């Protein structure tokens, strides 16, 4: 396995809308990419990672919200087919290390996607995983959680983020 580089804001690739994965491209090479993404996500203590965050132009994200890191979710060509309610919770992002903000999301979502073998499945979720699905799917649509913030809040968090990035140079 190989750890991948996580692109950091304001990298322009984070604004890219990812292309769908063709069914014939769901193969051993893609499964190795998925393993590399899990290694990268776990190493950076994340709960989700979209392909666009590691510079890959494909509609794919991975998640694992468990403490034991044993509840892996792989979503190829994901789409939210139903959502209900509204909740505002704190979110962070591996592409925005060191900062977080309260983001409004649907309280419950139902997602349809393909697994690493090309099998279609549906997943209903609320709480952390429900938010994570929405967050990662946003990445595949060229949207970051910053885009959900008011201009004032975005400006405050962006200032803090830039200060952190300078300190880490």
In-domain check, residue 5: no
DSSP character at residue 149? S
Tell me, yes or no, whether 2 lies in a domain: no
Residue 7 forms part of a structural domain: no
Could you give phi then psi for residue 44, rounded to 5 degrees?
-95, 10
Mean pLDDT throughout 95-103?
96
Q: Known catalytic residues? A: 136
169: buried, middle or exposed (CB in 10 Å: 19+, 13-18, 0-12)? exposed
Looking up residue 51, the CATH number of its domain turns out to be 3.90.45.10
- Give tens-digit pLDDT for 28-65: 999 999 999 999 999 999 999 999 999 999 999 999 98
Structural Rg of the chain based on CA atoms = 15
In a domain, 92, yes or no: yes
Q: What is the pTM of this model?
A: 0.95
Residue 133, domain member (yes or no): yes
Residues spanned by the domain of 85: 12-167
Domain count along the chain:
1
β-pairing, 100-105 vs 108-114, is: unpaired
């Amino acid at each position: 396995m190989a750890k991948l580089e996580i692109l950091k804001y304001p990298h322009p690739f984070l604004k890219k809308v990812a292309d769908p994965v063709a069914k014939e491209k769901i193969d051993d090479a893609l499964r190795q990419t998925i393993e590399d993404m899990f290694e990268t996500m776990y190493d950076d203590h994340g709960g989700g990672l979209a392909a666009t965050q590691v510079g890959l132009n494909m509609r794919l994200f991975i998640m694992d919200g468990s403490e034991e890191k044993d509840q892996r979710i792989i979503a190829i060509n994901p789409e939210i087919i139903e959502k209900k309610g509204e909740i505002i919770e704190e979110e962070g992002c591996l592409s925005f290390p060191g900062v977080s903000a309260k983001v409004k999301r649907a309280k419950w979502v139902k997602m349809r996607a393909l697994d690493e073998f090309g099998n279609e499945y549906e997943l209903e979720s609320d709480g952390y995983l429900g938010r994570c699905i929405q967050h990662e799917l946003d990445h595949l649509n060229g949207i970051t959680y910053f885009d959900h913030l008011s201009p004032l809040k975005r400006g405050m968090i962006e200032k803090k983020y830039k200060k952190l990035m300078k300190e880490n140079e």
